[in-house]
Amino acid sequence: MHAGLDFSSHRPAVYLLLQDGTTVAATTAPPDLDGLRGLVGSVVRTYGKNNEVLAVIESINGARFVHDTLDLYGWSVEIADA
């Protein structure tokens, strides 16, 4: 599964896609510890614990925190250059 996270707006957006590019969910999650923990928990409850997730976030203030937090929960995370 792939996750695209956009924290640049006032309404943070998260898009979950299958390997073939099909969007399976569009939701929001604030880029703080509670928001990221809730996002990971929601994905685990919906798609299973053994589902690998590759997330991509843009290089913005706080990107390292988001990267490290999601990495701690087992996601692979890439930071895209602006």
Edge-to-edge strand list for the sheet holding 76-80: 23-27, 13-17, 2-6, 54-58, 76-80
H, E, C per residue of the chain: CEEEEECCCCCCEEEEECCCCCEEEEECCCCCHHHHHHHHHHHHHHHCCCCCCEEEEECCCCHHHHHHHHHHCCCEEEEECC
Q: What is the mean pLDDT of the chain?
A: 91
Res. 82 pLDDT band, cuts 50 70 90 = low
In this prediction, residues 35-49 reach a mean pLDDT of 93
Does the structure show a pLDDT above 90 at 48? Answer: no
- Tokens representing residue 13 in the block: 């957006």
Q: Is the pLDDT of residue 2 over 90?
A: yes
